[in-house]
Amino acid sequence: MLFGGFILHILVGIILQIQNWMARPTRYKVEGFSQTSFFSKFMIHTGAVILAFLVIHLINFFFKAKFGEMPEVMINGEMFEDMGLLVIEKFKDLPLVLMYVVWLLFLGFHLDHAFHSALQSLGLNHSKYTPVAFGLSRALAILIAGGFILIPIILYINQ
């Protein structure tokens, strides 16, 4: 279900970007300052980086768990696949840790705009409440991305 949601989101995002490009095939000669946020202008780009990250993430973890060799652990006389050990082993590699941190920063930027955009799409615009809602959505984006960033960093430091 979650994966289907990602696929739908990717397809709708690509379609909207193409419609946007087709609506104005010739760019302005002089870019003006507008109300468009920095992150809004680069949603398709951050989305492409996140898609590349998702593919590598699936290769590193999902496909390895489903089709590859997994480390095992014995608990109460029963053998289980140990995904935790796989994660710990992967994040001993500094380049991979740095790659995940950078990709998760892109995810944070993407989420920051996404939450703002979702609030606007739902019509939740009010001169008094919108700044508070945007502040909360920014805090949520930072919390999500920051929480995920902590995982590879802590695992790398504690090796």
Task: Quote the CA–CA distance of 95 and 56 in Å, as a whole number.
Answer: 13
Residue with tokens 């995982």: 151
Question: Would you say residue 131 lies in a domain?
Answer: yes
Question: Would you say residue 77 lies in a domain?
Answer: yes
Question: Would you say residue 32 lies in a domain?
Answer: no
Residues 57 and 122: beta-carbon distance below 8 Å: no
Question: Would you say residue 3 lies in a domain?
Answer: no
pLDDT of residue 134: 82
The tally of domains found in the chain comes to 1
Q: What is the pLDDT of residues 77-131, one digit of tens each?
A: 998 888 888 899 999 999 999 999 999 999 998 888 887 777 777 777 777 777 8
Q: What is the pTM of this model?
A: 0.77
Question: Would you say residue 151 lies in a domain?
Answer: yes
Residues 111 and 63: beta-carbon distance below 8 Å: no
Question: Would you say residue 141 lies in a domain?
Answer: yes
Task: Quote the CA–CA distance of 55 and 139 in Å, as a whole number.
Answer: 27
Work out the percent of the chain whose per-residue pLDDT is above 70.
91
Tell me the CA distances in angstroms from 99 to 6, 24, 43, 68, 149, one per residue in order.
Answer: 21, 35, 19, 23, 10
Question: Would you say residue 14 lies in a domain?
Answer: no
Q: Which domain holds residue 53?
A: 43-157
Q: What is the pLDDT of residues 55-72, one digit of tens each?
A: 999 998 888 888 888 888
SS3 content of the chain, % helix, strand, coil (to 5): 70, 5, 25
pLDDT of 139 > 90? The answer is yes
Instruction: Find, among 147, 121, 115, the residue nearest to 134 by Cα.
Output: 115
DSSP single-letter state for residue 27: -
Question: Would you say residue 20 lies in a domain?
Answer: no
